[in-house]
Structure 1
């Protein structure tokens, strides 16, 4: 596969960190279910539509889109991780869905079907490109005139305790890893709403809307389970890996996170407040 985002291909497709997302697939799908609901509420997919899912991961969003557009529609899931796509294909087979395909590709440069799709969606799959303007422009070429994109990205670190609390706990225990550009490819790369809106405009998109949407993530049943998940994937996991943290370090971080997460206990379980940046735009008619 031709790619210019090789670091992301390595991380999601070949590293231990990427493999962990497969291990915790069910918990992560559960956690991010409110985000997926937001994407589908705003995307307003209809029966018969042709849809592209960017950064489809293990298939939760693509399968839901395929069910929504029905047998007369079609969904193409694209991801840079072959191991994720293998799992997505398995899930599609289990669901007996034959109106979707999955492609191993770098969406920034992939030759997508020109003007053949009605809509494009993504749940946390668009924050990792080295050149977001080029990526937006390339993806837009796959849409029909007037076609709409609906992408979910994380808001800022301070707006998202699911990121901030584990990160602070890990840094307190192990130290501060080398700082990186806050706009560099990564989960929080699209935190700046004005910047993202400008990137989309540079890519030639129209009717651009970037909205901060507050919602609650549905964490695992207990604060301890939620805290443990934080140390396996996400910012705390990266700090622990950077400093080669011991099991004793992991346990200490989990305890600190669980203590902080206790504030999010509700009658419905652990509900972690979040701010999601909802990106929408259209291709010129």
Structure 2
């Protein structure tokens, strides 16, 4: 492309039906979960930072590209994409008002001017047709209540020959960070159902064949799903990580439902387990994701 895109494609003012099944996600990300991410933004970013170079490599963003960042959160990937698309523009979309406010603040603070942020649900958001060259997402695609609708809507927003690149978690059993946490506390609390492929949640896209079927059904071609394994940095030491984990909404609920003694033992067991993973740079555990790429037909 040679055209200089200096303004963001804007949503069209047409009517669209809200996705009722997304109400729970929107409530969480505009409530405690969203505020927790803002408070601990640097830690959350450190946890996922190693996946960003893989995502950007796969996206192959050109200097004048128009980029759509789905589930942009506080905008780390949006700003990274904007630096690659120096003469283009990046639109970050997320459900969370608190995270979008943080994203705008950071873009202004860092002087990244070729970005914009919109609150929206990618399943139904009225993106302009064929308005983007690339769509990206770092671990933000797994929570769709209606994945076929979401991927169809994203495909519509991409130009012919447009590119899609996103990461999503592989199954829970191969993610050391989650296995370590659950194994430590399992004797003392009742573990939640984290869902799996096809079920709403962090692991809904864990099956590569399902990913291929969803994207193919949405009209994408040249679909590729490749494994990516990276360590994620959880914190400085066991005490630091346990304090953070105990502040997570899901873990707070589990501990609140346990007896006081079982809650204490669960955190003590987690501290002991994490201490065994202490390294010179803190505590890092393995994470396994899929890197997914596809194109819209020419």
Query: 1:3-62 CA deviation, whole Å, 9 max, x = no partner?
Result: 311111011112x23321111111110111101222112212121111000000011111
- Matched residues, number: 280
Residue 268 of structure 2 is matched in structure 1 by 255
Superposed counterparts of 1:52-91, under 5 Å? 52-70=68-86, 72-91=87-106
User: Quick check: 1:143 aligned with 2:131?
Assistant: no
Q: Do the aligned residues in 2 keep the contact of 1:231 with 1:253 (CA within 8 Å)?
A: no
Residue 119 of structure 1 is matched in structure 2 by 134
How far the C-alpha of 1:245 sits from its partner, in A, is 7.1
Task: Extract unaligned runs of 5+ from structure 2.
Answer: 1-15
Aligned equivalents of 1:90, 1:250: Cα separation in 2: 38
Aligned equivalents of 2:217, 2:270: Cα separation in 1: 40
User: Quick check: 1:95 aligned with 2:110?
Assistant: yes
Task: Extract unaligned runs of 5+ from structure 1.
Answer: none
**Counterpart among 150, 155, 172 of residue 157 in structure 1:** 172
Aligned equivalents of 1:68, 1:273: Cα separation in 2: 28
Return closer, same or farther for 1:262/1:133 CA change in 2, 3 Å cut-off: same
Aligned equivalents of 2:218, 2:276: Cα separation in 1: 42
Instruction: Return the TM-score normalized by structure 2.
Output: 0.86
How far the C-alpha of 1:151 sits from its partner, in A, is 0.6
Instruction: Return the TM-score normalized by structure 1.
Output: 0.90
Superposed counterparts of 1:236-247, under 5 Å? 236-237=251-252, 239-240=254-255, 243=257
**Counterpart among 11, 23, 41 of residue 6 in structure 1:** 23
Whichever of the two has the greater Rg, that structure is 2
**Counterpart among 47, 50, 54 of residue 31 in structure 1:** 47
Return closer, same or farther for 1:11/1:207 CA change in 2, 3 Å cut-off: same
The alignment partner of 2:145 has SS state of: coil
User: Quick check: 1:168 aligned with 2:183?
Assistant: yes
Q: Do the aligned residues in 2 keep the contact of 1:167 with 1:235 (CA within 8 Å)?
A: no
Return closer, same or farther for 1:170/1:245 CA change in 2, 3 Å cut-off: farther
Aligned equivalents of 1:269, 1:176: Cα separation in 2: 26
User: Quick check: 1:272 aligned with 2:289?
Assistant: no
Residue 214 of structure 2 is matched in structure 1 by 199
